[in-house]
Chain A
Amino acid sequence: MTQPRREVLQKLTPVLTKRWLSPDAWQIDTYERLDGYAAVRKALDVHPDDLIQLIKDSGLRGRGGAGFPTGLKWGFIPQGDGKPHYLVVNADEGEPGTCKDLPLMTYDPHSLVEGAIIAAYAIRASRAFIYIRGEAVHATRRLRNAVKEAYARGYLGENILGSGFDLDLVVHSGAGAYICGEETALLDSLEGFRGQPRLRPPFPAVAGLYASPTVVNNVGTIASVPYIVLGGADWWKSMGTEKSSGPMIYSLSGRIANPGQYECGLGITLRELIELAGGMKPGHNLKFWTPGGSSTPLLTADHIDTPMDFEGVAAAGSILGTTAMQIFSDQDCPVYATWRWLEFYHHESCGKCTPCREGNYWMVRTYRRILSGQGTVQDLDTLQDTADNIFGRSFCGLGDGAATPVMSTLKFFRQEYLDYIEGRTAPRLSEKALVGAH
């Protein structure tokens, strides 16, 4: 393992992860000692519109994958419309590779609660929900405990800190459906329905939860808010790049020496991140990687110097997503990896849109055929054609997410497909897996 160079170490920006080092930070006493709930006091002393402006000025962009400007999203909520408004925190973390929100909610749950109070005040909501992934049981335990403690100290409930602002916060567990991470599917699920995406417009800002104006924000986005309120927009912008400001938790996993969470300013490169992580695992060479979860087009070793911000990754033909970087080496097979992701998308497709439901069903079977050594060259055209027909033809991004690994591996690793088909690579799956493939 090599020691990272000083100039690379300087790119670490421990902000959201800083309290994780204090083992008791999930308890309100420790949290309050570490600047906790200072931001709520500060925020409740200014007009909500000024808070929205502050978030706009900071350039904060959504941490859930799409990177939409947060302040702008809050500003879309029509004010004075006579309707109740809602804040919904998307804590349904489940994108393959993504593992930044669970530790945040487990080791620093109050920062999310505090951010939610400020966000709800800014958009004038008196009820907020945290929709947390069902399987995230320990994070949920800590979060529920944090909410209970916050009620007890008067940070939640009626007339918070004597400001006249009321907020009820409910932690709502999902039940194991990846699709509920999509904001409109999440809203349907929260209303007690199957989680299926809605047609937009109307956008949630106009007709979201219970057909009322709703802001849906990712955990990382909401947890960033207290720091911006405390440190100011200029301080926040001292990290990251001009268009992608602030720190970001990069989740590194796979064939590297030290997988883990590395919080750095947006715009760091994979080369630098791998250096921070102590290099590749001995005997492994970088071959392909996901910049932000499996739904973002794969990148290869050629993209190692791509700046990991919204613009840089987009210029490289992919999406920053959730900065979940799964790193694969020359000992991993991109065809096999793509097949396994497709099994996932096939399982998680909600079934609403035909291209995604049927396309994934058939792509999975085509992959099984190729991986068991029975593929034909025509299968590659079938895959390309199916992926093209899923991409952009579904209500939500799940279909796009399923098509991207297929399209990107066909682009970068076509030869590896041919190696299976023409018998140069030994089959990875047995005949048994082929049932129903023909």
Chain B
Amino acid sequence: MSDVTVDFSPAAAPLAEKLLEPAREILARYPAGRERSALLPLLHLVQTEEGFVSPNGVAFCAEILGINKAQVGAVATFYTMYKRKPTGEYLVSVCTNTLCNVLGGQEIYDGLVEHLGVGHDQTTPDGKITLEHAECLAACDYAPVVTVNYDFAVDNSTPQAAVELVEQLRQGERPMPSRGARICSLKEMQFQLAGFADEREGAVADGPAGAPTLRGVTLAQEHGVAVANFNIDTPIATTKPARDESAKAVKDPGPVSAAKPAEEKHGGLIANVASKVKSAAATVADKVEHRKAGAPVKAGDDKDPETRAAEARNPTGDTPAPDATSAGLPNQTPAPTNAAEAAGAAKNEVAGDGKPAGDTERGESIVQESAAAQKQPATTNDNPGWQNAPRGNEEKK
């Protein structure tokens, strides 16, 4: 990390200019060296500007995190909340999963399709409404439900109520959702999804609990039913002093950030990196100008992308940032170190179909065959395999 400055490609620079500060705040939520955890919030953040994840948005996330665009694209296309084409001001979702479906969700959705003239994941020509049918929205006691920008808008909905809702939205009104905060735009909502507070006055307080949510507890109250013998001073049986060495947690490196003064104690590196990120923010504008003038553009470091990708996939001792889930995992299951762990390992069978791993005799014969093959004269020098084959440009040397 020593000499790396944050330097953005032309694709990512316009977004970086607007989003670098919040992106930096997002990165600071995760431990040093684990910045990739910020990818999901960063993708939400990108949608605050563009309404969807564009190739530029992918480039921005990739360059912030020092991973390649394919890695970001793989994640962005996996999750349904990252949209791949421009969206409307409001996302209207109708639950058509089984329970909502049989209670009328399908009719509501079909009615909206007919009324708006758009289908799933499509946006009305006026750019106001993107329609989608959603899977279970976790409100089955209010079925069928319709949400606007993910806030519960109409409970126990009907086709007519849903059409009224979208008409109000198209006319610029913002009807109060039944159990969510006052409506904002989809892009504004993305900022909250990226992990930032809803700063609108009173928005957090919006959304009273509905009758179904409170039904059981209200019934208990009305009939004076309570759980007996709840005494908050019930003592906890103790066997050890409250605090000793064994009660202490091992801390992870903490985030790379100057945002929290408390973390200054981690020393020079963090302050150093933080100041570099800061200075990068200041220089982005310069760089954009620079590029407009036709100056050559340098990626995050001097390595060509293929090398970087290869290193990330097959880290060696010299590769600083592990970039695979399995990195750092032992190859084999660690042996249990205490009785509780051993009991747990014994209790939890390996996921699988419960069949023996294979036909042992056949397995042994394969091993023998391959051992025999090993004894054949080696030809590997002549045919190094594609992974080890020298690249075209290296051959010229």
Contact = CB atoms under 8 A, between A and B. Distances in A.
A81 B248 CA distance: 11
B243 interface: yes
Interface residues of B, number: 118
Given A20-B213, A326-B140, A210 B238 contact: no
Given A4-B219, A14-B226, A259-B143, A254 B352 contact: no
A93 B80 CA distance: 15
A125 B249 CA distance: 6
Contacts of B341: 76, 78, 205-206
Interface in A191-236: 191-195, 198-203, 205-207, 210-212, 227, 229-232, 234-235
Interface string B41-55: 101100000000000
Given A50-B237, A171-B195, A230 B81 contact: no
A172 interface: yes
B366 interface: no
B234 A230 contact: yes
Contact of B135 (A12, A49, A178): A178
Given A9-B219, A54-B236, A328-B102, A134 B81 contact: yes
B279 interface: no
Contacts of A43: 236
A189 to B, nearest CB: 7
Residue with the highest number of chain B CB atoms closer than 10 Å, among A49, A98, A148: A49
Nearest to B38: A192
Interface in B135-184: 135-143, 147, 149-152, 179-181
A137 B232 contact: no
Contact of B34 (A79, A177, A191): A191
A212 B13 CA distance: 35
Contacts, number: 382
B236 A392 contact: no
A303 interface: no
A126 B209 contact: no
Contact of B249 (A124, A191, A247, A392): A124
Given A144-B195, A201-B345, A261-B213, A175 B136 contact: no
Interface stretch (B196-204, B295-303, B308-316, B388-396): B196-204
Interface stretch (B71-79, B281-289, B356-364, B378-386): B71-79
Interface stretch (B4-12, B14-22, B321-329): B321-329
A31 B145 CA distance: 30
Given A125-B249, A347-B135, A170 B351 contact: no
A133 B247 CA distance: 32
Interface string B93-126: 1001111011100000000000000000000000
Interface stretch (A308-316, A334-342, A365-373, A411-419): A334-342
Contact of A348 (B29, B44, B135): B135
A47 B234 contact: no
Contact of A251 (B101, B140, B220, B344): B140
A252 B237 contact: no
Contact of B139 (A73, A102, A336): A102
Given A170-B29, A254-B103, A54 B237 contact: yes
Contact of A206 (B98, B218, B334): B334
Given A145-B204, A174-B79, A260-B141, A188 B247 contact: no
Nearest to A397: B351
B286 to A, nearest CB: 30
A201 B341 CA distance: 12
A435 interface: no
A141 B203 contact: yes
Contacts of A124: 247-250
Interface in A139-174: 140-142, 144-145, 148, 158, 163-166, 170-174
A18 interface: yes
B181 A138 contact: yes
A94 B143 contact: no
A20 B102 CA distance: 29
Nearest to B215: A260
B249 A126 contact: yes
B250 A238 contact: no
B352 A47 contact: no
B36 A260 contact: no
Contacts of B36: 191-193
A67 interface: no
Contacts of A171: 195
Contacts of A189: 40
A14 B217 CA distance: 6
Interface string A392-422: 1101100000000000000000000000000
Given A207-B334, A234-B234, 7 more contacts: A9-B219, A48-B247, A54-B237, A124-B248, A192-B36, A202-B334, A259-B142
Interface of B: 29-31, 34, 36-41, 43-44, 65, 74-75, 78-82, 93, 96-99, 101-103, 134-143, 147, 149-152, 179-181, 189, 192-195, 197-198, 203-204, 206-209, 211-221, 223, 225-232, 234-244, 246-252, 262, 325, 327-330, 333-334, 337-338, 340-341, 343-345, 348, 350-354
